[in-house]
A and B are shown apart, each in its own frame.
Chain A
Amino acid sequence: GESVGLHLPTLSVQEGDNSIINCAYSNSASDYFIWYKQESGKGPQFIIDIRSNMDKRQGQRVTVLLNKTVKHLSLQIAATQPGDSAVYFCAENAGSGGGADGLTFGKGTHLIIQP
């Protein structure tokens, strides 16, 4: 399948600031998007998801924005904390396309929190 990519491999932010992690996808058939967080030595952990019929979804301290026109996805983390340090992956699935049900992951952004 087509790949999902991220704009920046590393993002460094001050503790307490808001973080924005971006992702560009290329499969226009994708209709389900997910953000995962992976801490060192652990498996990916679900953060938030969004379907293509929405452009914004909010969770606890996190917001995902979807711009289908430019095929762009972003994850906003409010008031970044040391525990937010991890690699963040966007993933997509062409759920309604009848294709493989596995997720296609981007390469990941390493979020570093500065004290």
Chain B
Amino acid sequence: DSGVTQTPKHLITATGQRVTLRCSPRSGDLSVYWYQQSLDQGLQFLIQYYNGEERAKGNILERFSAQQFPDLHSELNLSSLELGDSALYFCASSVIGTPYNEQFFGPGTRLTVL
């Protein structure tokens, strides 16, 4: 158990809908990262937040957005969902926001878009 929690574990929805994925980082970790894992694209970095502020962006679509709240939990919002958005979404956290810190991954949310 990494200490990172994600909810829900599974999510099934229809095209065009909007969903919110939630992540609680390890106690004491200030930085949260979101990753998408799909069969064709592999594990891809989406976005990072550090202490409530957006820190870095990766391959995140404009239909996707995220935020980190004062209690440091984070939410990833996916809108206008398409079939290709079906994937595993992982949240990771690290103590601080610099690249040389170990990122601890949560168990993931499996999103299925029908």
Contact = CB atoms under 8 A, between A and B. Distances in A.
Contact of B105 (A1, A32, A41, A43): A43
A44 B99 contact: no
Most chain A beta-carbon neighbours within 10 Å: one of B2, B33, B45, B56: B45
Contacts of B103: 46, 103
Interface residues on A, range: 20 to 34
B36 to A, nearest CB: 11
Interface of B: prevailing SS: strand
A42 B48 contact: no
Contacts of A42: 107-108
Interface string B81-111: 0000000001010000111101111111000
A43 B108 contact: yes
12 contacts: A34-B102, A44-B90, A45-B105, A95-B99, A95-B100, A101-B97, A101-B98, A102-B35, A102-B56, A104-B45, A105-B44, A108-B43
Interface of A: 1, 32, 34, 36, 41-46, 49, 51, 89, 91, 93-96, 99-108
